[in-house]
């Protein structure tokens, strides 16, 4: 990045490739539209407004951009799911709920480069024909809400939002909608229900695929903050050129957020698949803490299945098959999926050998039990059950067969719920039990096998409490 200077101690690592985070921590940078426009801000919106809508979507498809929120679904393909004969209004929602534990990328865009997002949103809205868009922001970003609203006002004042944008005849209003502290609002249909003023209970799909029946039962595109920022750069570079960054089927850059037991946790924008886990931990993050060994990594937000440090992963098929250690894994969607986990939201949580896996799992189970919306049976009942088992496990009150029960409960949630929260809450348990069974069993007490661990369960069974 020629000519850009960053705040002291915050310069990007040499292995980073800053596109979305180009202006994050940049010296002399601020959130005003003037600063943004000095560097060509809103030029891509102007360019897009002169393009055919289908051509924009085609560029995004060609770029290979995959959603950065967690599922990694191709963005351009998602946009084409709006029914072709649609006559209803189309809405765009930017998912800024950033709530997957381990993920902290959107906050910097929102706090430091809001116009980049607004421009990306405006281009996307034009492409899909949306005249009304909402930015759903998590409640815990009050400052971001103020910053983005100010930026929206500036964009309005400069003719980049509102009626007849830049004389194109295209109208667009963007409003900020603040959540109130619920992980489930990151699920797109839960988010939509929340935005409709209801309990954010995810909708069943079918029939409620947002692109056909979303907000107010109208076609709605829901994209992550980072994803929408990429749209701006795709217009700038062209889809083909963009697709040259990153790797095949895993194009572009993405922001990795690293937390846990590394020397220098933080955020790093890298080309997808061009950096390995080893480089992330050892180079970008300065390695593990002194004297510590790697125990496990959760590679894509807390719901991604944990990877054990000493696992050997087989990826690729047939002649392309190769074996990888955890250090060799390129950080891309497909390889992490092949390793049995996922790139998810880009939140990498590193755990060294000082950590109790029972304790880690219990922490995650506590999170998911707290965040289960309670709408559908398996997740509502199972998430709290799993937490209660691991509560006992860390308190020394669990028996080895409780570990089997724990695993069975997770399996009974996985794949059987309304939304992906079922997987999100069961995968940690499934993977921790599969990979750290011995350690969990070591924390259990065989003597408790037939013990009554909760006398209350007996009196409840007697049932005389009406």
Partner 1 sequence: MSEVKPDLVDVQIDGVWHRFPKGTRLIEACRQVGAEVPHYCYHPKLTSPGNCRMCLVETGMPPRSAPGAESPQPDESGHLPIVWMPRPVIACANTVAPNMGVRTTSPLAEECRKGVMEFLLANHPLDCPICDQVGECTLQEYSVEHGKGESRFREQKVKKPKNVAVGPRVRLDDERCIMCSRCIRFTDEIADDPVLGFTDRGSHTVLTVYPGRELANNYSLNTVDICPVGALTSNDFRFQMRVWFMRETDTIDVNCATGANITVFSRQNKIYRIVPRRNNDVNSDWMPDSHRLNFHWIDSEARLTEPMVKEHGRHRAATWSEALAKTAEKLASLSGSEIAVIASARMTNEELFLVRHLVRQLGATQIDIVPRMGEGDGYLISADRNPNTNGARLVLGLARPGDGLDRVRSEIEQGRIKAVLCFQENLVEDGGFSPELLGKLDFLLASYPLAHSTTGLADVVLPGACWAEKSGTMVNVTGRLQRLNKAVDGPGETREPWEILRDLIASLGGDSGVTSVAEIFRQIAAEVTEFKGLAWGQIGDLGLPLIETGETIPALEREKQRKAAGLIVG
Partner 2 sequence: MFTVPQDLEAEIDERITHYPVSKRSAVLPVLHHLQQHFGYLSEEAVEWTAAKLGLEPIKVLEVVTFYPGFRQEAPGKYHIRVCRTLSCAMAGSHELMDSLCEKAGIDRSGVTHHHPIAVSPDGKFSIEFAECLASCGFGPVCMVNDDFHEAVTDAEGLLKQYS
Among 372, 426, 429, 431, binds partner 1 (CB under 8 A): 372
Backbone angles phi, psi at 445, to 5 degrees: -120, 115
Spatial CB neighbours of 20, under 8 Å, sequence gap ≥ 6: 109, 116, 226, 229, 230, 233, 253, 255, 269
- Residue with Cβ nearer partner 2 (242 or 436): 436
- The partner in contact with residue 179, picked from partner 1, partner 2, none with C-beta cut-offs of 5 to 8 angstroms by kind, is partner 2
Q: CA-based angle 101:347:370, to the nearest 5? A: 15
- The pair of structure tokens assigned to 422 is 């079922």
Number of residues that bind partner 1 (CB under 8 A): 45
Interface with partner 1, residue 273, by CB under 8 A: no
* CA–CA distance, 268 with 244 (Å, rounded to integer): 19
Q: Residue 349 to residues 162, 272, 311, 422, 450: CA-CA distances in angstroms?
A: 41, 18, 17, 21, 36
Interface with partner 1, residue 450, by CB under 8 A: no
Backbone angles phi, psi at 21, to 5 degrees: -95, 20
**Dihedral class, residue 451 (left if φ above 0, else alpha if ψ from -120 to 50, else beta):** beta
Interface with partner 1, residue 154, by CB under 8 A: no
Interface with partner 1, residue 429, by CB under 8 A: no
**Element holding 130 (H helix, E strand):** strand 130-137
Q: CA-based angle 27:29:31, to the nearest 5? A: 150
Nearest approach in angstroms of CB 115 to partner 2 is 20
Among 224, 302, 375, 426, binds partner 1 (CB under 8 A): 375
- Residue with Cβ nearer partner 2 (351 or 441): 351
Nearest approach in angstroms of CB 466 to partner 1 is 5
Among 67, 190, 382, 428, binds partner 1 (CB under 8 A): 382
Show the beta-strand stretches assigned E in 144-300.
173-178, 220-224, 246-247, 250-251, 253-260, 266-271, 294-298
Residues 396-425 that bind partner 1 (CB under 8 A): 402, 405, 408-409, 411-412, 415-418
Interface with partner 1, residue 83, by CB under 8 A: no
- Residue with Cβ nearer partner 1 (208 or 327): 208
- Residue with Cβ nearer partner 2 (89 or 129): 89
Residues 187-216 that bind partner 1 (CB under 8 A): 199, 201, 204, 206-207
Q: Which residues of the chain form contacts with partner 2 (CB under 8 A)? A: 89, 98-104, 106-107, 132, 138-143, 175, 177-183, 194-200, 215-216, 257-261, 265-267, 298, 302, 347, 349, 351, 355, 360, 363-364, 366-367, 370-371, 373
The residue among 388, 405, 387 whose CA lies nearest residue 441 is 405
- The partner in contact with residue 143, picked from partner 1, partner 2, none with C-beta cut-offs of 5 to 8 angstroms by kind, is partner 2
Radius of gyration of the chain (CA): 23
Interface with partner 1, residue 180, by CB under 8 A: no
Nearest approach in angstroms of CB 64 to partner 1 is 19
If you count them, how many residues does the chain have? 466
Spatial CB neighbours of 403, under 8 Å, sequence gap ≥ 6: 393, 433, 437, 440, 441, 444
Nearest approach in angstroms of CB 77 to partner 1 is 16
* CA–CA distance, 361 with 439 (Å, rounded to integer): 12
- The partner in contact with residue 98, picked from partner 1, partner 2, none with C-beta cut-offs of 5 to 8 angstroms by kind, is partner 2
User: In terms of C-beta density within 10 A (0-12 exposed, 13-18 middle, 19 or more buried), how is residue 35 classed?
Assistant: middle
Nearest approach in angstroms of CB 124 to partner 2 is 19
Nearest approach in angstroms of CB 420 to partner 1 is 12
Nearest approach in angstroms of CB 65 to partner 1 is 24
Interface with partner 1, residue 454, by CB under 8 A: yes
User: In terms of C-beta density within 10 A (0-12 exposed, 13-18 middle, 19 or more buried), how is residue 415 classed?
Assistant: exposed
- The pair of structure tokens assigned to 284 is 């970008």
**Footprint on this chain of partner 1 (rule: CB under 8 A):** 182, 199, 201, 204, 206-207, 369-378, 380-385, 388-389, 392, 402, 405, 408-409, 411-412, 415-418, 453-454, 456-457, 460-461, 463-466
């Amino acid at each position: 990045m020629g000519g850009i200077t960053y705040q002291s101690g915050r310069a990007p690592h040499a292995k980073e490739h800053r596109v979305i985070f180009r202006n994050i921590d940049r010296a002399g940078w601020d959130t005003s539209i003037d600063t943004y426009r000095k560097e060509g801000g809103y030029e891509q919106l102007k360019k897009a407004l002169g393009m055919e809508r289908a051509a924009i979507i085609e560029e995004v498809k060609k770029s290979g951009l995959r959603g950065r929120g967690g599922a990694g679904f191709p963005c351009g393909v998602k946009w084409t799911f709006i029914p072709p004969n649609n006559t209803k209004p189309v809405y765009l929602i930017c998912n800024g709920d950033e709530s997957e534990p381990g993920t902290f990328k959107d906050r910097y865009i929102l706090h430091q480069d809001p116009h980049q997002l607004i421009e990306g949103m405006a281009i996307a809205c034009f492409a899909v024909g949306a005249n009304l868009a909402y930015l759903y922001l998590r409640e815990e970003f009050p400052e971001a809400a103020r910053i983005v609203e100010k930026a929206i006002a500036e964009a309005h004042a400069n003719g980049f939002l509102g009626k007849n944008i830049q004389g194109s005849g295209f109208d667009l209003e963007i409003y900020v909608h603040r959540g109130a502290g619920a992980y489930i609002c990151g699920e797109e249909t839960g988010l939509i229900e929340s935005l409709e003023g209801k309990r954010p209970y995810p909708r069943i799909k079918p029939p409620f695929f947002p692109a056909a029946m979303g907000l107010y039962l109208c076609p709605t595109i829901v994209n992550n903050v980072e994803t929408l920022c990429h749209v701006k750069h795709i217009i700038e570079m062209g889809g083909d050129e963009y697709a040259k960054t990153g790797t095949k089927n895993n194009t572009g850059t993405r922001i990795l957020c690293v937390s846990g037991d590394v020397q220098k946790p933080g955020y790093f924008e890298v080309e997808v698949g061009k950096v390995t886990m080893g480089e992330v931990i050892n180079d970008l993050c300065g390695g593990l803490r002194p004297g510590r060994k790697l125990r496990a990594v959760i590679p894509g937000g807390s719901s991604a299945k944990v990877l054990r440090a000493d696992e050997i992963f087989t990826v690729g098929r047939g002649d392309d098959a190769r074996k990888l250690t955890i250090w060799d894994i390129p950080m891309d969607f497909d390889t992490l999926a092949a390793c049995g986990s996922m790139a998810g939201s880009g939140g990498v949580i590193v755990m060294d050998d000082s950590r109790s896996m029972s304790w880690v799992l219990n922490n995650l189970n506590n999170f998911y039990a707290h965040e289960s919306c309670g709408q559908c049976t398996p997740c509502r009942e199972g998430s709290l059950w799993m937490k209660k088992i691991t509560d006992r496990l860390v308190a020394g009150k669990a028996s080895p067969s409780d570990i089997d029960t724990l695993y069975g409960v997770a399996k009974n949630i996985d794949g059987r719920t309304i939304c992906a929260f079922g997987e999100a809450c069961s995968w940690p348990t499934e993977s921790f039990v599969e990979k750290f069974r011995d350690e969990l069993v070591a924390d259990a007490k065989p003597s408790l096998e037939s013990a009554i661990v909760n006398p209350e369960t007996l009196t409840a069974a007697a049932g005389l409490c009406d």
